[in-house]
Amino acid sequence: MNDRTPRYRDIRVGSNVLRTAVWEGKGHGRPLLFFNGIGANIELIAPLAEALSDRDIIAFDAPGVGGSPAAVLPYRPWQFARMAAGILDELGYSEVDVMGVSWGGAMAQQFAFQFASRVHRLILAATSAGFFMVPGKPAALAKLAHPRRYMNPDYMLQHFEMLYGDEQDGAHGHAKRLRAPSFRGYFFQLLAGMGWTSVPFLPFLKPDTLVLAGENDQIVPLVNGRFLASLIPGSRLEIVPGGHLFLVSRAKEVIPLIRDFLDEEPARRPFARSDFAGERRFRGTRRAGAGKPRPAA
């Protein structure tokens, strides 16, 4: 991975000041707008940003998370999408690729529908269609409802497997980058997702879409990824070993999938825009430094 230092900037969009980071790319890849998970600060995506060094990566802290002051009033997903669009306007980006993880995956869906002309490709990781999702294990969801895992890294490491269904590969580095959200910021994020669903507009999404789902996800079970992919025209579902934080624990396997999807030429895409492409299941080794994963038979 290349060591890249992001440029940080506070950007005002409406009544909110949003701490924003841009990792400047060293190539000509299309910029990637990243929507983070609930309570997650910008620094947590540093390994991904360093791996995708050929393109600009844009990320921001939600209100009350990381370095962004908490919002005065609750907000809805359509308002959060407008915040992201305001950031792109201020930074001078028009069309981008978009990626969202977990809660951020829901916001990425909203953004892709609301600002369709600005989205070229869409990646949805460990996420669901919102209200109609199949819930995860109660023990994991109970711990997810409180931001304690961000406030106490030892607590997060102790319950890592229960929370995320992952091995602890990369967990210590993840814990060191944590920055606790405010209670109000975390609560407003939870509130934003209540009652929201993307089901009515998923069939109308236009970007080529990659859905990534963890085989052992304790928070957003695999069936939710299948449901998303079945409703989004021309989407592809990749099932990866690991749980909710497979971007951390299985980075060596997942990042090549992301890079290949973003770099594919449209004429060489393995599916038609009008048809669901089905799914692929990858079985890679858990040992660091091993070869590329193989599609399962």
Q: Tell me the DSSP string of 272-295.
A: -TTS---EEEEE--SSTT----EE
Tell me: pLDDT of 33 over 80: yes
Is 53 noted as a catalytic residue in this protein?
no
- Please name each of the domains of the chain with its CATH number: 7-295 (3.40.50.1820)
Chain-centroid distance of CA 134 in Å reads 18
From 131, 129, 136, 143, select the one nearest 194 (Cα to Cα): 131
H/E stretch holding 225 reads: helix 222-231
| 282-290 mean pLDDT | 43
pLDDT (0 to 100) of residue 110: 98
User: Distance between alpha carbon 160 and the CA centroid of its chain, in Å?
Assistant: 18
Q: Which is the catalytic residue, given 15, 53, 102, 274?
A: 102
What's the rounded Cα separation, in Å, for the pair 9 and 180? 19
Q: What is the pLDDT of residue 282?
A: 64
Average pLDDT of span 102-118? 97
Q: How far is it, in rounded angstroms, from Cα 286 to Cα 199? A: 35
Range in 138-152, 226-240, 282-296 with the lowest mean pLDDT: 282-296
pLDDT of residue 243: 81
Does the structure show a pLDDT above 90 at 154? Answer: no
> Distance (Å, rounded) from C-alpha 101 to C-alpha 40?
10
Residue 272 CB-half CA count within 13 A: 2
Cα separation values, 228 from 63, 127, 168, 179, 286, Å: 27, 9, 28, 30, 27
